[in-house]
Amino acid sequence: MEIYKEVDLYQQRLNEYRPFEGDLLQQIKAYYRVSLIWSSNALEGNTLTMSETKVLLEEGLTASGKPLVYSNEAVGHAKSYDYMFSLLRGHKISEEDVLTLHKLLFSKTDEVNAGVYRNKSVIITGSKYPVVAAPKIQFEIDKLFNWINNERASYHPIEFAAQLHKRFVFIHPFIDGNGRIARLLMNTSLIQDGYMLAVIPPILRNEYIALLEKAHIEDMEFNQFIAQRVIETQKDIMRLLNIPLVDM
């Protein structure tokens, strides 16, 4: 697919300036910490602005006039983001990692359901497709991790990341937070394979949801959408580090 070739051209250029270690890695991690947490929460209806999210995460100040739960969601998401980067050096994603990400995400908003699969049915507003029935969640999760462990190498890393997002969110194993965990898992796989994060800005929410819905039948456009988000992050990093952009 042509877009994967484009991703890899940018990746090749970035690799010439690697390794990103020490202070530089921490700066990259910090730079995207705010934007990824803000954008991912905003996709789910959290109304904190990026500036309010930045002040909250860096100075601990909550936004005046906004529900406290929005601030707590951002703080929990920051814990999950930091955990994601603790998985950077490996090439493995486990079920325990998923449960830990979710437990951290909801550590300040829903301790009862944090890190626990749902035991009731849910309906996804706006989707015509059902999610996995509660009694079958563990079976589908086991299938997912069998696929992760045995098939990952057969995919381009960007395609694998998009597929991981799609397959997880279609299972919808938690009562809440499935989209945010799916995006964290997607980005975990990307950074493990040396790629940049895929950040989905709220302005693309309708396109993102529409392509994810379409992916029940045909997922090429969803895969391309995720690839384009990686390209945008690659371009951002190259601009920040004064690396000449690739001539396409």
What is the distance between the alpha carbons of residues 214 and 122, in angstroms, rounded to a whole number? 20
Give per-residue pLDDT as tens, 74-85. 999 999 999 999
Is pLDDT at 132 greater than 80 in this prediction?
A: yes
Type of residue numbered 49: T
Type of residue numbered 237: I
Give per-residue pLDDT as tens, 145-187. 999 999 999 999 999 999 999 999 999 999 999 999 999 999 9
What is the distance between the alpha carbons of residues 183 and 185, in angstroms, rounded to a whole number? 5
Q: What is the pLDDT of residue 30?
A: 87
Q: What is the pLDDT of residue 247?
A: 66
H-only helix segments in the chain: 2-15, 22-43, 50-59, 68-86, 95-105, 137-151, 157-171, 178-192, 205-214, 220-240
DSSP letter at 113 equals T
Radius of gyration of the chain (CA): 18
Domains in the chain, CATH or no CATH each: 2-240 (1.10.3290.10)
Q: What is the pLDDT of residue 248?
A: 60
Type of residue numbered 19: P
- Mean pLDDT value of segment 205-232: 97
The rounded Cα 117 to chain-centroid distance in angstroms is 19
pTM (predicted TM-score): 0.94
- Tell me the catalytic residues: 172
What is the distance between the alpha carbons of residues 139 and 151, in angstroms, rounded to a whole number? 18
Type of residue numbered 174: F
Q: Which of 35-49, 88-102, 118-132 has the lowest mean pLDDT?
A: 118-132
Give per-residue pLDDT as tens, 20-70. 767 777 888 888 999 999 999 999 999 999 999 999 999 998 998 899 999
